[in-house]
Structure 1
Amino acid sequence: SRPTLIRALDEGRLPYSRVGTHRRIALTDVLDHREQRRREQYDALDAVSQSTDEDRSIPEVLDDLHRARKAVAAKRRRA
């Protein structure tokens, strides 16, 4: 979303240049950032999936996945 992108720019997670009041972002930087975010999410999901038991119910597993995604988002906001 736009607010998420602006926050990433303001926090220095994505390089950009200013032209007047507009921000210019290189496409390669945007694609690299997207790939990094995906890697973090997949790593978190992988960590959760390795710790789940087969005898757990689907709602329990889904709750764990939801918590893992929130943890990745919180980590991203702190970075």
Structure 2
Amino acid sequence: MHTAITSQPLPSAAEAALARESSRVLSACLQTRSDAQQIELHDEQGATHPVRVPVSALRLLLDVLTEIGAGNAVSIIPIHAELTTQEAADALNVSRPHLVRLLEQGDIPFHKVGTHRRVRYQDLMAYKQRIDAQRHEALDALAEEAQRLGLGYD
């Protein structure tokens, strides 16, 4: 299955404010041990429609509202999604040729659909976590060395 990642516009100031307010209310309502909550939606005619929603979905909605409230655009990608090389490069914020090199070196698993490479989203995120951990280790080592040499980082 192919899932497109589309760039989302940044929320307006009014949308961000509404998201902050909504996230506060939703957060208070999610202090529950139940598996589902019932919410009510109102249509244009004023009719109320009760909807049972899994708490896990409401927690995800809370995360989305929190990000929008902070002024960030949000995209949701299924974990099993397959990305094109351009989508994967965009997700890592690298060039497509660099991503293709990572794929060909075996750093990130991929498969081909015809002549096109596809990358599973969860494989891409596993690579990102590995690389981020390596960066943190390198930064810690540099900070430790700076401390040892007394370079003024107290």
Which residue pairs with 1:56 in the alignment? 151
Question: Which structure has the greater CA radius of gyration?
Answer: 2
1:34 pairs with 116, 119, 128, which one? 128
Structure-2 residue corresponding to 1:15: 109
Q: Number of aligned residue pairs: give it.
A: 58
Residue aligning to 2:137? 43
The answer for unaligned runs of 5 or more in structure 1 is 59-79
The Cα offsets for residues 19-64 of structure 1, whole Å up to 9 and x where unpaired, read as 1111111100000001111110110000010111385268xxxxxx
RMSD: 1.8
Instruction: Quote the Cα distance in structure 2 between the aligned partners of 1:16 and 1:44.
Output: 27
AA partner of residue 9 (structure 1): L
Q: One-letter code of the match for 2:111? A: S
**Superposition misfits of 4+ residues, deviation over 4 angstroms:** none
TM-score (norm. length: structure 2): 0.35
Distance in 2 separating the partners of 1:8 and 1:26: 14
User: Normalising to structure 1: TM-score of the pair?
Assistant: 0.65
1:12 maps to a residue whose letter is G
User: Higher helix fraction: Structure 1 or Structure 2?
Assistant: 1
Unmatched segments (≥5 aa) in structure 2: 1-94
